Amino acid sequence: MKDRRSGTWVKIYSMVALGLVTLLTLVMLMLSRACAQEQPSLRDRAEQLYRQYEYANAIPLYTKLVDTKRPRLNDLERLADSYLKLNDYESAENWYARVVAHEESPAENRIVYGEVLKANGKYAEARNQLEAYASETGDSDRVTVQLAGCDSALVWMADPTAHRLRNEGVNTPQGEFAVFPMDGRVYYAGEPEGVVQRKGTYGWTGNSFLRIYTADRSDDNTLTNPALAVGEINDASYHLGPVAADATGNTLFITRTYPGREGERTREDRQKFLTRNLELYCYTRNNDGTWSAEPFAYNNVQEYSLGHAALSQDGNTLYYVSDMPGGQGGTDIWFSEKQTDGSWGEPVNAGERINSSGNELFPNIGPDHTLYYSSDGFAGMGGLDVFRSTGSRGQWTEPRNLRYPVNSSGDDFAYVLTLDGEESLAGYLSSNRKGGQGNDDIYSFSYEKPKIIIILRGTTSDKQTGDRIAAAAVTLFDGKREIVARKSSDGSGTFEFVLDRNQTYTVLGQKEGYHADSASVSTIGISKSDTLEAALLLEPVFKVGDTFELENIYYDFDKHNIRPDAAAILDELVRTMRDNPTLKIELSSHTDSRGSDAYNMALSQRRAQAAVDYLVSRGIARERMEAKGYGETRLVNDCGNGVACSREAHQANRRTEVTVLAY
């Protein structure tokens, strides 16, 4: 798979940022003088930035281009793809909704839209797009695996496993991933902060090249005291990591980017590319504590990448990942057996049972000889999912998905166990799921069979009629607003979740055509099995003429610019407009009576227009909205001109409202 980002052409084998990737150097060819002398149009400048992989800079230009009643499909596609390249899946969803609604949009865009919806955890909606693609093209085989993944994800999120994940304190806004435990310490790969020299940053992310870190590991797998590993193992020009080790810790297997100039050379359009593939190095600790490094015998940087090593429990089989010829497709897991002289035998493909036409990455061998690895070639929840299989070398059982919450709508990988018992499990995994500290984060996990069972039983009902609402989307969040489980209410408008002890939760009910409703639930202090109840009352709102207030939309005094806290509220309206494409609204702003009538009217109009402009920037077509400022003409109380009122009474009049014009 190929992708473009941040001024660098990168051939990448998965959606994992900084996983098994190749680093490429881009040589831009000079344009002709005639082209250089032309004054570029707005579209020319946007296209140039896009082709130079400067997506963040291209976005505001494309946003201006599509702010018209009949935007060009290519502009919409470029804008949506730019957000996708930046991993801003929420914005990408907004714009891909516009892309697929365009009368000229090819069916292929539905697959990309489906992938974006999956990345946002919207599996039912993703399934609709994938089915629409199959219906339009007749090519159902193309989306068979993706459809199976959507179906499975809905089941897994409705009935999550007992794994409990904790984002570790060593994580930073940069990337950290791929823990390898060694007694009371761990190795992992991470991006250092503040490195600014020429070879210290990676064009894809703008961050430093990966280095090897160590950290202290406590009995409960908490990681502390992160530090760059000392010595020769961090002596490299480009990426380093992940790391594996033998049982003694005296031999390390480290993946690194080849630094030489002998890589694969290719040409595309008017650009030349040098591919720097990955290679595996074996580091041996010397008696004086220093390290000696030797390349793995089967590296071939001119033709393929090789890395992500894992050693069998007996130390006699070395597994690794490569895109060398002879595989099933993408990157596969291969292995070499230790020979009598201590060398490693010829690479052997681990077989079609565990390898797919997609990409297999990050193998680890568990204490019970189970293989854990990540793949995007089998039915899964998002990009990479974690799978397990038992066997050895080229003989394996059918891989099993580890389900939610080990897997998520993002990339989940580098799963490693530190405890494997009948009643409990513990270990680490890496993920770029929502709610983390950086792009890729390290999570510790634990699994224990519950000793008491706490059930949340609830209902979804129409607030006006009291009738039960079936098939409402119900999401359970923990105290950090991270998704614990998600399901639909059944035909009688009821739902159930299993809760943990000593936790606080929020349960949210949503249904098209209704305002959402939520309830807070706590299990703190519950010491025996119990059943809690929640009633969610959803209010129908999308009737022509209905008006509702957007609460907590605040502006600075005498200003009309959208503050960050107001943007968060308006984003909810963006989602409502996106998910209800026939909805048209008037977005109105109101002031209190302080100030002149004429000034308040003008200020409210500017505020209403600013709110509409914000929604346009987030992907909502301008013709679906009308901005209207009413000044102080529609007060909700008696605080008119000259009337002494409290601050709170005046605040009640300063509001933003939405009126349904068509639905």
In the predicted structure, residue 23 carries a pLDDT above the cut 60: no
Q: What is the mean pLDDT of residues 611-619?
A: 94
User: What percent of the chain is modeled with pLDDT above 70?
Assistant: 89
Question: What single-letter amino acid sits at 145?
Answer: V
Lowest mean pLDDT among 387-396, 499-508, 531-540, 544-553: 544-553
Lowest mean pLDDT among 22-26, 42-46, 434-438, 616-620: 22-26
In the predicted structure, residue 144 carries a pLDDT above the cut 50: yes
- Which uninterrupted H or E stretch holds 536? strand 530-540
pLDDT of residue 293: 92
Beta strands in 208-250 (DSSP E): 211-217, 223-228, 240-245
Q: What secondary structure does DSSP assign to 334-388, as a single string?
A: EEEEBPTTS-B---EE--TTT--SS-EEEEEE-TTS-EEEEESSSS-SSSSEEEE
Give how far the C-alpha of residue 14 lies from the chain's centroid of Cα atoms, to the nearest Å. 13
Q: What is the pTM of this model?
A: 0.77
C-alpha distances in angstroms, 213 versus 95, 133, 171?
39, 45, 12
Choosing among 2.60.40.1120, 2.40.37.10, 1.10.1740.10, 2.60.120.10, the CATH entry for 454-540 is 2.60.40.1120
Structure tokens at 108: 């292929």
Rounded-to-integer distance, Cα 3 and Cα 103, Å: 27
507 forms beta bridges with 476, 519
**What confidence category does residue 74 fall into, taking pLDDT thresholds of 50, 70 and 90?**
very high
Q: What's the CATH code, domain 170-420?
A: 2.115.10
Residue 652: phi and psi, rounded to 5, are -60, -25
Residues 6+ apart with CB under 8 A from 86: 55, 56
Q: Give the start-to-end residue ranges of the domains of the chain.
A: 170-420, 454-540, 547-662
- Which uninterrupted H or E stretch holds 598? helix 597-617
Task: Name the fold adopted by 547-662.
Answer: 60s Ribosomal Protein L30; Chain: A; (3.30.1330)
Rounded-to-integer distance, Cα 605 and Cα 630, Å: 7
Rounded-to-integer distance, Cα 379 and Cα 163, Å: 20
Q: What is the mean pLDDT of residues 296-313?
A: 94
pLDDT, one tens digit per residue, over 532-542 is 999 999 988 77
Q: Using the structure block, give the residue that is written with the tokens 């509702």.
A: 548
Residue 506: phi and psi, rounded to 5, are -125, 130
In the predicted structure, residue 7 carries a pLDDT above the cut 50: no
In the predicted structure, residue 251 carries a pLDDT above the cut 50: yes
Structure tokens at 636: 């909700």
Burial class (CB in 10 A: 0-12, 13-18, 19+), 70: exposed
**Would you say the C-alpha torsion 363, 439, 571, 552 has a positive or negative sign?**
positive
Q: What is the mean pLDDT of residues 422-431?
A: 91
pLDDT of residue 30: 36
Q: What is the mean pLDDT of residues 550-567?
A: 76
Rounded-to-integer distance, Cα 296 and Cα 49, Å: 40
**Would you say the C-alpha torsion 564, 568, 571, 576 has a positive or negative sign?**
negative
DSSP code at position 623: G
**Mean model confidence pLDDT for the chain:** 86
| Contact present, 23 and 255 (Cβ < 8 Å) | no
3-state secondary structure 110-167: HHHHHHHHHHCCCHHHHHHHHHHHHHHHCCCHHHHHHHHHHHHHHHHHHCCCCEEEEE
Question: What single-letter amino acid sits at 222?
Answer: T
**Which of 163, 222, 18, 121 lies closest to 434 in space, CA to CA?**
121
Rounded-to-integer distance, Cα 533 and Cα 238, Å: 55
In the predicted structure, residue 8 carries a pLDDT above the cut 60: no
In the predicted structure, residue 180 carries a pLDDT above the cut 80: yes
Indicate the length of the chain as a whole number: 663
pLDDT, one tens digit per residue, over 370-416 is 999 999 999 999 889 999 999 999 999 999 999 999 999 989 999 99
In the predicted structure, residue 117 carries a pLDDT above the cut 90: yes
In the predicted structure, residue 140 carries a pLDDT above the cut 70: yes
**What confidence category does residue 561 fall into, taking pLDDT thresholds of 50, 70 and 90?**
confident
Helix, strand, or coil (residue 196): coil
- Let me know the angle formed at the C-alpha of 82 by 81 and 86, rounded to the nearest 5 degrees: 110
In the predicted structure, residue 467 carries a pLDDT above the cut 70: yes
In the predicted structure, residue 267 carries a pLDDT above the cut 70: no
Rg (CA), the chain: 28
Better pLDDT: 576 or 395: 395
C-alpha distances in angstroms, 321 versus 279, 283, 350, 545, 581?
10, 18, 10, 60, 45
Better pLDDT: 566 or 273: 566
pLDDT of residue 289: 87
